[in-house]
Structure 1
Amino acid sequence: MVKINVDGACKGNPGVGGGGGGIVRDKEGVVIAAFSKFYGDYTNTIAELRALNDGLKLCAKLEATGIVVNSDSKVTIQSIAKGRCGSWKGWYWFQETMELARVLKPMIYFTFREGNRAADGLAKLSCDSAVDTEFQGGPELPPDLRRIKREDACGLPVLRK
């Protein structure tokens, strides 16, 4: 079993610098892999969909089974659940994501943004750096994300501002 958190981000909506990120952990919470992908000029909705797509592709590459996905995008989760794409601009990624979901059979759930901090940090990293990065394991993660990973592992609460 693996758990993956995914998130999309965009500077402006639509705007320049859209990207996505995700982090894959085993059932003990140990980081297996993570990604930060730059998408260019898109909306938040497309960035969220592409992040889910990239997360499922990473799980397929890792030959993961028992996949649990957490996303803070209700729109993306509802689109997948209903089998309907809400944006023609996202049709390609929607179709690809639906095919990955059919094959991998992940359980996809909504999480509040506080539960998605690591994926959010990776998505923002892609927007700021404008490059694609893959991380293998926890030690390769940037310092801010290693801190979030430690806090998550300790079960520390996250308070909304």
Structure 2
Amino acid sequence: MDKVVRWVKPVYPFVKLNSDGLVGSNIAEMGGIIQNFKGDVIISYASPLNHCKVIYAEMKGLAYGLEVCVRIGITNVVIEVDALSLIQLLNNNIMCYPDFFYIMRKIKSLMAGLNFSLVHIFREGNACADFLAKKGSLLDDVEAFSSINIPQQLCGLVRLDKLGLPYIRSI
């Protein structure tokens, strides 16, 4: 059975932050994208990480995106992540690993200053953030992309999302 998944534009005055983290056998990376109510890219980012647990990579991607929002003065944010476990950790104040204490505290602190909603999106609908997280392994450090230097493939994914074209998720 298949499920249709779409990235949906936020309603003004909100922006949407999609973030992701990935861990492979020898790599870890994170990335994310912030888009306005028209679906236009405000900023996107990608970075390699030291090898870590997947949930930590997800947390790093979210924390960086929240830091960007605060730094540039964005206060109304729809946050979408494809890690349901991260949403559960944040919503239920669960601390499963002591190593995560400081990053969880940082995320909570950043979110406290925002008018936000935190929602789950399936991986297929998080294609831009997924692309950026994968790009992180090709970089030496955190790199930000604006509309001026956006990678060509990301530009195509953003266009698909802005048009509301569906992704198909096989269940």
Distance in 2 between residues matched to 1:6 and 1:109, nearest whole Å = 11
- Flag structure 2 segments of 5+ consecutive residues without an equivalent: 1-13
CA contact (8 A) 2:127 2:157 kept: yes
Alpha-carbon displacement from aligned partner over 1:31-60 (angstroms, at most 9, x marks no partner): 100110221111111000111111100111
Aligned to 2:161: 152
| Alignment partners' CA distance in 2, 1:61 and 1:136 | 15
Cα offsets for 1:51-85 (capped at 9, x unmatched): 11111001111110211000000111111111222
Q: Deviation of residue 130 (structure 1)? A: 4.0
TM-score by length of 1: 0.91
Residue 74 of structure 1 corresponds to: 84
Q: Which runs of 5+ in 1 are unaligned?
A: none
**Would you say the 8 A contact 2:19–2:80 is kept in 1?**
yes
* Alignment map for 1:52-131 (pairs within 5 Å): 52-131=62-141
Large movers: runs of 4+ above 4 Å: none
| Contact 1:83/1:98 (8 A) holds in 2 | no
Tell me how large the CA RMSD over aligned residues is: 1.4
Greater helix percent: which structure?
1
Larger relative contact order (CA 8 Å, sep ≥ 6): 2
Asked if 1 retains the 8 angstrom alpha-carbon contact of 2:47 and 2:139, the reply is no
